[in-house]
Amino acid sequence: MSKAAAVSALMAGALAFGAASLRAQAGGGGGGDPGRGRQVYERYCVQCHGDRADGAGEVARWSQPRPRDFRGGVYKFSSTPYGFLPTPADLDRVIQNGLYGTRMPPFAALSTRERRDVIAYLQTRSPRWRSEGPGKPIAIAAEPAPTRESVTRGRELFEANCTKCHGDGTGNGPSALKGMADDWGAAITPANLTLGRGKWARTARDIYLRITGGINGTPMPEAGDALSPDQVWQVAHYVQALGGWTGSTPELRQFAAQLPPPGTEASSEPAPADTTKR
């Protein structure tokens, strides 16, 4: 064997060993290849998330919120309960759609294989993926039809459980005014729910998940057993009626606008009859 051939064989062996090592670290990567995923990461992700996947890329200093530090294995948005790792499908959704109002853009142009590969690579960046599997997705109860009654009840539940941070729905609660921080020490403000969408959430189903599961790494807690599935849907329908959320109706938005804002004295007059079409 020539010297050049021997060198080529050694390089190929080293590359194969590196890819195998990454696959071993990745755990359940949903069928992705972390070796290829590293190439996708270096092309599309390193500018924000950094060479070490620590959220300290060269443009991170101008980003608020800061890019995710993948080393801790803490992901804000998932379909799994608070404190659990997300599913590959959860990560795929964020990669495809991005996070509204942040510097995380949608990467819908990436192929399915590229997304699977980069997810597999991200799973090598935290030891959590080697010792834990993704959590079981939260079971979502069948959605009842949104009505004036459900919006009214949702407002009452919102006032009792959500106004401390979200205030009248614009994120102006007393805790927000004092100042809040996430688990990474960065300043954070509650979502303005009147905008009609969140960074991740778009629909009543998404709102249901965020109420039930909370948001990892932030002061947004999980509802746990504090609310029944029906009550979660009532809060979701009230939030949906605060703005132009996908699936909201002009009639219920107008009705919600006539209700006293949370934290104010409720009207003693009965709510108008429910004429929402079913």
**Taking all residues of the chain, what is their mean pLDDT, rounded to a whole number?**
88
Q: How many whole angstroms separate alpha carbon 128 and alpha carbon 106? A: 26
This prediction's pTM: 0.83
Read off the pLDDT band of 2 (50, 70, 90): low
Q: How many whole angstroms separate alpha carbon 34 and alpha carbon 191? A: 34
Q: How many whole angstroms separate alpha carbon 74 and alpha carbon 235? A: 26
Residue 8 has pLDDT above 50, yes or no: no
In Å, what is the CA distance from 236 to each residue of 42, 53, 211? 39, 34, 8
Read off the pLDDT band of 25 (50, 70, 90): very low
According to the model, what pLDDT value does residue 30 have? 63
In Å, what is the CA distance from 53 to each residue of 47, 56, 57, 61, 275? 10, 8, 8, 15, 53
Comparing 18 with 241, the larger pLDDT belongs to: 241
Residue 181 φ/ψ, nearest 5 degrees: -140, 155
Residue 112 has pLDDT above 60, yes or no: yes
Q: How many whole angstroms separate alpha carbon 75 and alpha carbon 90? A: 10
Q: How many whole angstroms separate alpha carbon 257 and alpha carbon 261? A: 8
Share of the chain above pLDDT 90, in %: 81
Residue 178 has pLDDT above 80, yes or no: yes
The three-class DSSP label of residue 156 is: helix
Q: How many whole angstroms separate alpha carbon 125 and alpha carbon 109? A: 24
According to the model, what pLDDT value does residue 21 have? 47
Check if the beta carbon of residue 74 is closer than 8 Å to that of residue 217.
yes
Helices and strands (DSSP H and E) totals, the chain: 12, 2
Read off the pLDDT band of 14 (50, 70, 90): very low
pLDDT tens-digit series, residues 185-242: 999 999 999 999 999 999 999 999 999 999 999 999 999 889 999 999 999 999 999 9
Helices 112-122 and 34-44, interaxial angle, to 10°? 100
According to the model, what pLDDT value does residue 20 have? 45
The mean pLDDT of 51-56, rounded to a whole number, is: 97
Residues 6+ apart with CB under 8 A from 209: 79, 138, 140, 201
Tokens of 270: 């009965």
Domains of the chain (ranges; CATH) run 19-131 (1.10.760.10), 148-258 (1.10.760.10)
Read off the pLDDT band of 31 (50, 70, 90): confident
The three-class DSSP label of residue 183 is: coil
List the single range of 113-117, 250-254, 273-277 with lowest mean pLDDT: 273-277
Q: How many whole angstroms separate alpha carbon 256 and alpha carbon 250? A: 10
